[in-house]
Structure 1
């Protein structure tokens, strides 16, 4: 019992998730049904994948506002490739490489160019949103009806052993990136750069290369989320991903990662993403207007930031 209490005291977001789920279950009997819980996991999986990359970025002391636009652009490119009946074994990796490349450009501009992460990724967000509109001509790109399109749909709408494929993909992403963050030199360097960049540089860490790699990872995972979303909808929408950067930041911050960098875990981000997902689902079940949902989400982010500020002071 003492061990459990100690664990819960170190993982306050998890306690918040449990309390939230209990409250919603009381208010809505349909909340704890298997179909609804699977729906929550499916809806959360896209934000969770983006939030993994955002966790690395924030841990390094940065921010990435371009993930929603990277999602949209890479999703559109992937839909175009699949519509041309290109095998998904080529279309998906090419889209992921494109996302990693776009993220790496952000990292180079920030690390080598010395531009503030907020400004650099804000510019990237704007330019990529425009590029998506140009590429799609402002219209959705459908994936078509060929063999490649049928296989592609399973990435976003299929099931594996009764579990939605996007949920399985998100679980694998968390497992792999969690091991990298906690068991590798790259993970330790990520914390070091976010904790004190000057000390990290003096310690021999190639800070610019580290930042480039971190932002490349963020871009790759945003592209992966774009692939999943495009596959599920069987089309790429030119406005896809709008506001997704805020959801990802919310998941990271609510999960306990410090916006000042150097402190946080991917487990906390997973819990944060689930909190956002459960909150959205609860408001939908109670027929709350989407306008009020935005207010509620903003309030949750504000409370998390205030808690982080008090903890840091």
Structure 2
């Protein structure tokens, strides 16, 4: 094979998610004409805010070679805590800081058990998922808690999802943009990003080169927890309530977005800028299935198949490498 052809294939492989995005949009539009309308794409971008932010946090963890399946439970727990605080008359700023702090603490909890105790990330985060899902049911008593919209704090909280910047740009879009700008800087411009890639590539080699691998992994889980908290605030603001089952199966969409975006589950390979493309593809798939009237249960099956295919593609790429 010629050198130019190899380079061409390499470029196609690197940017394959853009090709998948275009191909998926065209095929879905042919099947369902309503899919390619401006209003429908506007709905898609509104709907992906939560998953896009969750996926950004998941990218940090997966780049280290780990995984976090507790993000949905973290999302629900933070939503329940913050909605309760608003209902108790707590200032909006303090409420939001507390919610983000809880996300960071949950992330640190996961990171410490994974890095310090050398436990499997899947097992640790499965336990965390159970703990904080249970705590969410305890806080909500199994029933939705409505957001108190009679106070300024309640209206301010609701504005986080429905508010507009310059009367045209949804604030939730701005949050997604800021999350990805910060994530891009940390992973591609800061020393910490180089440490993350080094740990994901080879933890032992990273340790021998003087990198504090344990701290690097803990901070990756902290980032994931904070972004799950932001997603929890957004979704509870969107529905103006704390739902005990909020975020169930959201970890599936987040993992799918990361892997479709080209980040390897082996760790050390990927780009957070491509994760947003993966989130858009998952959002398009969800939207298309809804337009087609596909039952929710079948949608879960379809997304499971998509994740399996994405993991299979990642495995094949790894073997070739």
TM tier, smaller: over 0.9
Could you say which residue in structure 2 is the equivalent of 1:283? 289
Superposition pairs of residues 256-295 of structure 1, within 5 angstroms: 256-295=262-301
Superposition pairs of residues 124-203 of structure 1, within 5 angstroms: 124-145=128-149, 146-161=151-166, 162-203=168-209
Q: Deviations over 1:223-263 (max 9, x none)?
A: 00000001111100011111111111111111111111000
Q: Note the C-alpha offset of 1:304.
A: 0.9
SS at match of 2:314: helix
Could you say which residue in structure 2 is the equivalent of 1:91? 95
Q: Note the C-alpha offset of 1:301.
A: 1.1
Could you say which residue in structure 2 is the equivalent of 1:103? 107
Q: Deviations over 1:85-117 (max 9, x none)?
A: 322222111100111011101111111111111
Could you say which residue in structure 2 is the equivalent of 1:227? 233
Count of residue pairs the alignment pairs up: 312
Change (3 A) 1:33 1:5: farther
Q: Note the C-alpha offset of 1:291.
A: 2.2
Could you say which residue in structure 1 is the equivalent of 2:53? 49
Counterpart CA distance in 2 for 1:218 and 1:9 is 27
TM-score normalised to structure 2 length: 0.93
Q: Note the C-alpha offset of 1:5.
A: 9.4
Counterpart CA distance in 2 for 1:135 and 1:166 is 26
Superposition pairs of residues 51-90 of structure 1, within 5 angstroms: 51-90=55-94
Counterpart CA distance in 2 for 1:50 and 1:61 is 17
Counterpart CA distance in 2 for 1:36 and 1:275 is 14
Where do 5+ consecutive residues of structure 2 fail to align?
none
Could you say which residue in structure 2 is the equivalent of 1:246? 252
Match of 2:313 among 293, 307, 310: 307
Alpha-carbon contact 1:194-1:262 (below 8 Å) kept: yes
Q: Deviations over 1:73-96 (max 9, x none)?
A: 011001011112322222111100
Superposition pairs of residues 106-121 of structure 1, within 5 angstroms: 106-121=110-125
Counterpart CA distance in 2 for 1:118 and 1:14 is 30
Q: Deviations over 1:24-63 (max 9, x none)?
A: 2223332233321121011111001011110010000101
Counterpart CA distance in 2 for 1:82 and 1:33 is 38
SS at match of 2:93: helix
Q: Note the C-alpha offset of 1:297.
A: 1.1
Over aligned residue pairs, what C-alpha RMSD do you find? 1.7
Q: Note the C-alpha offset of 1:8.
A: 4.9
Counterpart CA distance in 2 for 1:36 and 1:167 is 16
Counterpart CA distance in 2 for 1:283 and 1:210 is 39
Counterpart CA distance in 2 for 1:44 and 1:292 is 20
Where do 5+ consecutive residues of structure 1 fail to align?
none
Which is further off, 25-34 or 216-225? Answer: 25-34
Counterpart CA distance in 2 for 1:21 and 1:167 is 21
